[in-house]
Structure 1
């Protein structure tokens, strides 16, 4: 397996699969259109965020979207993981962990001392994040009325 930045055709494939990734990541709460995905991703890419992909041969197995975020209270800039996704047929092989570790290494090389991410409660990825050392920092709560 190789982890690297995508070429143009791989980037287009990511964008075509991103609505499913967001649907899965939000546990079915969000079902974005292709256009909505572009509206979410393009500003991040323009600000320096980038994808890293996991491939084997010509097979795209998964990706991570990494960039930065500013803490709204302290103004501190930290690394931020915007998206992590592994295609169904490649799950259970440690690809998510390898993508996360590579992304974290990129942040370390760029001098960041903290990495953050957001994840839905109940998402299976929570277990991986905890194993990697992530801790709850804030909790967003909701109530249906």
Structure 2
């Protein structure tokens, strides 16, 4: 298994799989259209975001979409993990952690002192993030008023 920065030729494959990635990441709550995914991804890429992909024999096993943002209060630049996805047949083999480490190392090399991400509270990936040293910073809450 190889991890590398995605190039332009990888983007179509990633974007075509991204609706499923978002569906899985939101625990079945959201299934965006391809057009919505393209719009969201392009906005991140236009601001310097990038993908690292895990691949084997030319097949994409998964990816991490990373970029930068600023702290809402201090305006300090921070690294941000926008999406982490491993295709179903390749889960449970440590690919997520290797992709996360590649993104974190990239941010360290670029001089960032913090990396953040957001995840659904019930997402099983939260345990992996915690095991990697991520801690809860804020809590986002919701009340359905239908």
User: TM-score of the superposition, structure 2-length normalised?
Assistant: 0.97
Structure 2 equivalent of residue 110 of structure 1 = 110
Number of residue pairs the alignment of both structures matches: 145
Are 1:85 and 2:85 matched, yes or no? yes
Are 1:4 and 2:4 matched, yes or no? yes
Structure 2 equivalent of residue 132 of structure 1 = 132
Unpaired runs of at least 5, structure 1: none
| RMSD (Å), alpha carbons | 0.8
Cα deviation, residue 63, structure 1 = 0.2
Q: Deviations over 1:61-112 (max 9, x none)?
A: 0000011011111111100000000000000000000000111000000000
Q: Provide the secondary structure at the position in 2 that maps to 1:62.
A: strand
Unpaired runs of at least 5, structure 2: none
Structure 1 equivalent of residue 75 of structure 2 = 75
- Please give the alpha-carbon distance, in whole angstroms, between the structure 2 residues aligned to 1:72 and 1:6: 29
Runs of 4+ in 1 over 6 A off after TM superposition: none
User: TM-score of the superposition, structure 1-length normalised?
Assistant: 0.97
Structure 2 equivalent of residue 121 of structure 1 = 121
Cα deviation, residue 7, structure 1 = 3.1
